[in-house]
Structure 1
Amino acid sequence: MQPRQTDSDEFDAPPSMARPSLLRELPVTQRGLRTRASLIAAARKVFERLGYLDTRLVDITKAAKCSAGTFYTYFASKEEVFAAVLEVAQEDMMHPGTPRVADDGDPAQIIEASNRAYFQAYERNAELMGLLEQVASIDPEFGKLRRDRGEAFIARNARSIEDLQERGLADVELDPILASRALSGMVSRIAYNHFVVGYREGESASLDEVIYTATRLWVNALRIPPVN
């Protein structure tokens, strides 16, 4: 969910997972932009296939069918091209949620729609999401950036829960921050276990079953009437 927007947070954006210090200015020519995009796309496939630690620059240039010199025109290191991969993919990887529940809207349906968008985005990016777990465990700075981004979404969901409480649509005895942290964490782990671990182990549950279960747990926890 996404909170009721105010003048102060209407245009809030979650923090980037890519280190700003590793992001260069974009090329000024269309050819440069196409070459850079091709390198990023190739790098993402190689990172997902080999893992962050085992990926070498030669693997990326081979996949992109370019020379090392061309690579260094746009990126100085593996760290820089990985940051660019994240910058391109991050909005799709972590869906920001859905608009605030309208006064005549059904909170359970809004939560279901938000969960559906999140799980669909996670499924599209499952290999990259698995890679991010690896990188966060070995790179403290990246781990912090990822946690900060997660905290931003937890804060958004907390404001949504508080809004529902104020309108008598959710359990008023719950602490909205703690509830958001628990529920957001639950959805995140369901996604990881299903789309990253589960796919490797032959997970049989369908996407609709995952969405239904996560939504039912969420609305039950907040004491919101389930989707009809």
Structure 2
Amino acid sequence: MAAQPPAAAKAPRTERGRKTLRKLLDAAAGEFGDHGFHEASISSITRRAGVALGSFYTYFDSKDAIFRALVQDMSEAVKVAAREAIVPDMQPLEIERAALQAFLEFAGEHKEVYRIIDEAEFVDPQSYRDHYETVAARIRERLETGGAKGELRHGLGEIEAWALMGMNVFLGLRYAIWREEGDPDSEGVARAANAMLAKGVAR
């Protein structure tokens, strides 16, 4: 997913090593997504990755270590997806629309992200908290920048950032993970949410 190896992994020294690490993380995403942390095993991850069992320990000390690295990897991938959707000179509200649409599309393509992040609350609570605090900090920075430019209401901060993140997380759950036939596409959902940001819900 993400281009750079997560901090929880031992950094590879060669291009071949980087490819092997990527295979292990992608295999871990599939294994943890399909079976959960407790049912997954290192041997099953290496089989999925098509690498030798010994190669696993070149990069990770344990199943806990690769799980922690995977949460970091997914968090980084979400950030990259949002960043790539934002173009120069976008207005603040349009940035939030584009970032939400990118997240919905990412979650639709990587449905395992919800199970893995949710499981992190119990397997590795610090990674779970770090993930959401990092996302909220990025949203807060965008809101504060918009306020400083006079393009958003002044004084928006942490509370609004967490509220906006919560909305995005549950829209992803409903329209990416639990998507049903006839539902609006990611662009339609993002535009509806953006209209609510712009106009509120008061009459």
What's 2:144 paired with?
159
Does 1:193 pair with 2:182? no
- The structure whose RCO (Cα within 8 Å, separation 6+) is larger is 1
Query: Would you say 1:215 and 2:201 are equivalent positions?
Result: no
Shift of 1:81: 1.9
Residue of structure 1 equivalent to 2:15: 30
Q: Return the alpha-carbon distance in structure 2 between the equivalents of residues 75 and 138 of structure 1.
A: 16
Letter matched to residue 86 of structure 2: T
AA paired with 1:30?
A: E
2-structure distance, mates of 1:170, 1:34: 43
What's the counterpart of residue 3 of structure 2?
Answer: none
Quick one: percent identity of the two aligned structures? 20
Check 1:35–1:182 CA distance in 2 against 1; reply closer, same or farther (3 A cut). Answer: closer
Alignment CA distance shift 1:152-1:66 (3 Å)? same
1:90 aligns to 2:75 (yes or no)? yes
**8 Å Cα contact 1:61-1:71 kept in structure 2:** yes
Provide the C-alpha distance between the structure 2 equivalents of 1:162 and 1:209, rounded to a whole number of angstroms: 26
Name the count of aligned residue pairs: 192
3-state DSSP class of the match of 2:38?
coil
Amino acid at match of 1:65: G
Q: How does 1:33-112 map to 2 (within 5 A)?
A: 33-94=18-79, 95-96=82-83, 98=86, 102=89, 107-112=92-97
RMSD over aligned Cα atoms: 2.9
Extract unaligned runs of 5+ from structure 2: 1-5
Instruction: Go from structure 1 to structure 2 and tell me whether the alpha carbon gap of 1:110 and 1:34 turns closer, same or farther (over 3 Å shift).
Output: closer
CA distance in 2, matches of 1:35, 1:211: 36
Q: Which runs of 5+ in 1 are unaligned?
A: 1-17, 224-228
Give the C-alpha shift of residue 60 in structure 1.
Answer: 0.8
- Give the conservation status (yes or no) of the 8 Å contact 2:29–2:112: no
Normalized against structure 1, the TM-score is what?
Answer: 0.69
CA contact (8 A) 2:25 2:66 kept: yes
Tell me what 2:162 maps to.
181
Deviation track 1:162-186 (CA, whole Å, cap 9, x = no partner) reads: 235xx2x4445xx412333322321
